[in-house]
Structure 1
Amino acid sequence: MKSIAALAALVATSAAQNMTMSNSAVTYVPRTCTGNYTQGRDEVYYTVPYTYDQVMSIIGNYSNLTWSGSPENSVSLNGTDNTVGTARTYDIAGAHVIETILEYSKPPSPGPYNEVHNTALLNVPSAGNVSFYIPFDGTVVSSVCDGKASAFNFTAVYCATNASVAGEVLHMLHLGDAVTVGKFLGGKNFTSCEALGSNATGPMNQTASFPSAANATANGTTGEGATVTTSGGGASTSSSAADVRYGGGLVGGAMLVIAGLMVL
């Protein structure tokens, strides 16, 4: 058995090297891209016509991923919910995923909610056998339209054997997550602040500013972004992955991708 001093040293090393610790297993998530892995960056912006408090009722607990396709009570934690340093593990469509909280803040309305985690190495056979890990996977939700809507910002800075393909995978997953939250809350589509009776001029007129998730990089450089448009939610989306148009069926497409996920 390790001594208390040895365990303390391990925890300190874990924090320094961005390590994910799950029960007795230790999974390293490097802060930078190494070897055959190159950096990519993907961002998804999506607005739903529901209040900040309504959105928090769906996504506000790290242990609950029903809105991302995991059954209720299927996520295991190695620590306290919603706490920096806690890792969650879950299986979805054959994938075993390990993610550790790096930043967490859930203030009352108008927010913003800020959750950042890393993701241990994954392999996607159905997408050209691409492998990737994510040093920074951030979600920010801010109240917009005078509190009558909520704006999502998903920002992932990742390291992949094929950055474009990995970006497409992450883009579909994150956009599918945002769409699902809207469906859970009633399925209405956002069109404009004016349609909600707000004097604000657009979804990015926030009542609270985006914190670090909007500006993070894995190694201090920001990847070039290509413009991607989406038909859902009336929100613009940018991505470093590819110049692609996404139409309907995004949630189903995301599930087809996740079905091929396997941890190396």
Structure 2
Amino acid sequence: MISFPNAKINIGLNVVEKRADGYHNIETLFYPVGLCDVLELAEATEPAFSSSGIEIDAAPENNLVFKAYKLLKTAYNLPPIKFHLHKLIPFGAGLGGGSADAAFALKMLNEFFQLQLTAEELRQFASKIGADCPFFIENQPTFAYGIGNRFKPIELDLSDYKIVIVKPNVSVSTPQAYKNIVPQKAQFNLLNIATLPVDDWKDVIKNDFERSVLPQFPEIAELKEKLYQLGAVYAAMSGSGSAVFGLFRHLPTDLANSLPKGIFIYR
């Protein structure tokens, strides 16, 4: 069995409050995009995990895919299986690749072993893996709030736009991104995004992490500006970075030559 876990971008990200437990409450929009990993599941005599593509700098047993398997194995006494992950979504990019892999693993296991788990039950398992992991169960445009673990579906269709994603040769850790954040009330309610033309997003929809991350990583700021120079109607950092995305009505013919070397994709 093979599936294609996809990345997401954050359209807007407001850090609105620091909680008593040390975490932060946020408001953001998750939007699924076509940059995908490849995940294969097969029967095995012993549990196993292997990978190719982008190097995964972690022991197999610590991978989120294997964590998803262990969660369901404990609950349903699953027999051994093996996973192979061909990694194409970069790490430290704010694209949710690890969470997507884990969520798709849960869905694959549910189908492979005919567990008949509902979407809500799958989300409950996914929530034990990561705050944004449940989003990838249904994988639809979503308003996320709380610590990024509470969701409301929204109507948002960007099919008229090409989405260009660029990953510079730097990675940003989430704790590092939060280091200089000053929580504040959002200036725009992202639930109302459908009422705001995409042409107006640039001056209204913000990613609060950019205030702390861009001064530390000027190459990210330069990429964002470059996307605007190339004709993007909106560009922003995704999540806590370091990937930057731009929305284009039409792709420039010299796009590949205009961007620095790194991962980019358009859908």
Query: In which range does the TM-score fall when normalised by the shorter chain?
Result: under 0.3
TM-score (norm 1): 0.25
Of Structure 1 and Structure 2, the greater strand share is in 1
Of Structure 1 and Structure 2, the greater helix share is in 2
